[in-house]
Amino acid sequence: MSIYINEIQYEIKQKLGQGGYGEVYQVLNKSDNKYYALKEFPIKGETKDNIQAIKNEAQLLSKFNHKNIVKYYDSLEQDDKFYILMEYCDDQNLNVFINKHKEKNELIKEKIIYNIIKQICLGLKEIHSKRIIHRDLKPENIFMNKNNEIKIGDFGILNSYKTFTKTNKNLGTLYYTAPEILSDGKYNNKADIWSLGCIIYELFNLDFYFLNNMMHEIKKIDENIYNSKWQKLIDSLLETKYNIRPDINKVIDFIVCQNLKESDKNEKNQKVEDKENTTKK
């Protein structure tokens, strides 16, 4: 099966995923022989506001040309469906990456975490610089390739397409949703900063901040393995009063000024490996 966008044939190869909004397919461009991702949104019977919300995502994505944000290429309305053609990320998302480490009971090395966080922050800086709020920042919406290159995708603009409530919000998103959204629905770009804090917490602890906060004492990062300054950053991002949280520029400044990259010494990598070996025994 194929679809034509601006007279270019795209052959549908496989379904990549499905959400409350629609389906995502891997498609092959028959002109350049490259793979792309195609989002398909059914719009038959939807209200004008919902249809506009879907089209707004295409308009929003078209504003970006940044290496850490999934690239938008084109869109099309046809046969009661709306399509968005995007960059295809060919390996995995951050959720898969984290879960692989959970299954192996294997901590993520600090150098890798630093590289991931830095790229997420650079992408988020670009988003916020255009006065846009992502609104659904979570590991499932952060894509990675085999070189651990990061691409932020799937903006939460479609939360307005499928009405946001505490009960219908999927659990994966709930783990990363800022408290001000859950309490009264009023928020600004500091909601993304909370989500970022939850992601960083999970990278270090291989566990959800939301569950630890609700059920028992919140874990701290293992300072025998990781630079203790990361905990200071996490605490600032997960401040319940959103106006106290730093903006993305201050987060990047903190990472650079604290020389957190330099904290990944060989001996710390060895501690991670020693702890993993001990655990496996």
**Two tokens at 34?**
């490259």
Which domain range does residue 196 map to? 92-280
User: Residue 71's pLDDT band (boundaries 50, 70, 90)?
Assistant: very high
The verdict on 36 and 100 lying in the same domain is: no
User: How much is the pLDDT for 101?
Assistant: 96
Judge if 126 and 44 occupy the same domain: no
The arithmetic mean of pLDDT across residues 159-186, rounded, is: 63
Q: Is the dihedral of CA 120, 118, 66, 249 positive or negative?
A: positive
pLDDT over 80 at 172, yes or no: no
The CATH number of residue 106's host domain is: 1.10.510.10
Radius of gyration of the chain (CA): 20
CATH of the domain at 29: 3.30.200.20
Q: Are residues 110 and 238 in the same domain?
A: yes
Burial class (CB in 10 A: 0-12, 13-18, 19+), 79: exposed
C-alpha dihedral sign at 279, 175, 247, 252: positive
Q: Say if residue 126 is in the same domain as residue 52.
A: no
Band of residue 168 on the pLDDT scale cut at 50, 70, 90: very low
Query: d(Cα 259, Cα 257) in Å, to the nearest integer?
Result: 5
pLDDT at 50: 82
* pLDDT, tens only, 91-100: 789 999 999 9
144 and 272 part of one domain: yes
Do 165 and 78 fall into the same domain? no
User: Which residues form the catalytic set?
Assistant: 136
Which whole number is the average pLDDT over 209-218?
Answer: 67
Same domain, 143 and 217: yes
Query: What's the mean pLDDT in 127-132?
Result: 92
CA 155 to chain centre: 9
Residues 112 and 221 in one domain: yes
Torsion of CA 70, 72, 78, 81, to 10 degrees: 30
pLDDT digits 0-9 by tens, 17-50:
776 567 889 999 999 999 999 999 988 888 888 8
Q: CB of 55 within 8 A of CB of 158?
A: no
Of 87, 115, 145, which marks where a domain is finished?
A: 87
H-only helix segments in 169-265: 171-174, 179-183, 190-205, 209-215, 229-237, 248-257
pLDDT above 50 for 167 = no
For residues 44 and 182, membership in a common domain is answered with no
pLDDT of residue 187: 85
Answer yes or no: is pLDDT of 119 > 80.
yes
The domain boundary, picked from 30, 56, 87, lies at 87
40 and 24 Cβ atoms separated by less than 8 Å: yes
With a CB cutoff of 8 Å and minimum separation 6, the contacts of 268 are: 110, 225, 226, 227
Q: Which of 151-155, 208-212, 221-225, 238-242 has the lowest mean pLDDT?
A: 208-212
Q: Are residues 16 and 124 in the same domain?
A: no
What is the tally of structural domains in the chain?
2
Asked whether residue 129 falls in the same domain as residue 187, the answer is: yes
- 82 and 97: one domain? no
pLDDT at 92: 85
**According to the per-residue pLDDT averaged within each range, which of 152-156, 197-201, 204-208, 255-259 is highest?**
197-201
Does residue 220 contact residue 231 with C-beta atoms inside 8 Å? yes
Using DSSP, how many helices (H) and how many strands (E) does the chain show? 10, 9
Higher-pLDDT residue of 211 and 274 is: 211
pLDDT(197) > 80: yes
pLDDT of 48: 86
Instruction: With cut-offs at 50, 70 and 90, classify the pLDDT of residue 67.
Output: very high
Are 58 and 65 contacting, i.e. CB atoms less than 8 angstroms apart? no
| Domain-ending residue, one of 87, 113, 144 | 87
Count CB neighbours of 136 within 10 A: 23
